[in-house]
Amino acid sequence: MRSILLNKWLAMLVVAGVQSAVLGYIVVERALVIRDGREIILDVRPVDPRSVFRGDYVILDYGDVTLLGSSVAGDLPKNKQALFVKLRKGGEGWQPVTATAIYPSDVDGDEVVLKGMLSSRHSRQVRYGIESYFVPEGEGKQLERFIGKGQLRVIVAVGAGGQAAIKGLEVEGKSVYIEPLL
């Protein structure tokens, strides 16, 4: 242990290497979901705050998709535990049908499973990790106008394990912005 600590160059290689690898891992994991994941399109509603570290962003509120009403089957796990929500496509878009602690085994073609986390057990609301969209400084307002008119929808890529990633934005049925992989 001491000898590693004494050799600053080796230490530097390990530290910078591990930190770069962590960053690389997150990038690759996200890029793979966007490239290979199944696409679904969700309606959104706006809220506009700002993150201290990551700049301006628009909060995307997915409405019913995040609310597990009383008709949703399955026992809800505790806060901070992963939760798999099965969505089914109906006349009014995607709606949650079941919520389980493990990935459901029976998923039909018109169904998709999203991995989320219970943000409030009381209100039965779920977060899927796709609730913010970061925009260049000052451009949040324009985006909000689209959302305000109900014209904006989000293209979400869903990975095999249920991980969701924002793939792009759609206005009046036309994709206006597709996220680059890297």
Partner 1 sequence: MSVSYREKLAEDLPKWVDAGWVRPEGAAAILAEVSDETPSRQNRIVGILSILGAVLIGAGAISFIAANWQEMPRLFRLGLMISGLWAAYGAGALLFQRGYDVFAHAAVLLGSVVFGASVMLVAQMYHIHGSPPDAVFVWAAGALLAGLLMGSNPSLVLSLLLVCFWGAWETQLAENVFWPFLPAWAVVAAVLSWRHCDYGVKLATLAIGAWIVSLGYTLPGQPHNDLVVGIGAAIAGCGLALQVVGLRVGDYGRLAVGLGFCIAVAGLFGLQFIDWHQELSSVVGYAVVVLLLSVAAIAWGLRTHDLTLSRAAYVAFAIEVVGLYARTLGTLLNTSLFFVGAGIGVIVLALLAFRLNRQWSLRTGAKS
Residues at the contact surface with partner 1, assessed by CB under 8 A: 4-5, 8-9, 11-12, 14-16, 18-20, 22-23, 26-27, 30, 34, 51-57, 79-80, 117, 119, 127, 129-137, 165-166, 179-180, 182
Query: Cα separation of 142 and 138, whole Å?
Result: 9
Sign, Cα dihedral of 58, 170, 143, 67: negative
Helix, strand or coil, per DSSP, at residue 169: strand
**Which pair of structure tokens corresponds to residue 153?**
């929808």
Closer residue to partner 1 (CB): 21 or 73: 21
**Which pair of structure tokens corresponds to residue 15?**
């530290």
Q: Minimum distance between the CB of residue 145 and partner 1, rounded to whole angstroms?
A: 19
CB 141, CB 57: distance < 8 Å: no
Q: Minimum distance between the CB of residue 8 and partner 1, rounded to whole angstroms?
A: 4
CB 147, CB 59: distance < 8 Å: no
Q: Minimum distance between the CB of residue 71 and partner 1, rounded to whole angstroms?
A: 26
Closer residue to partner 1 (CB): 52 or 108: 52
**Which pair of structure tokens corresponds to residue 51?**
């993150």
Q: Minimum distance between the CB of residue 54 and partner 1, rounded to whole angstroms?
A: 4
Closer residue to partner 1 (CB): 54 or 174: 54
Closer residue to partner 1 (CB): 30 or 86: 30
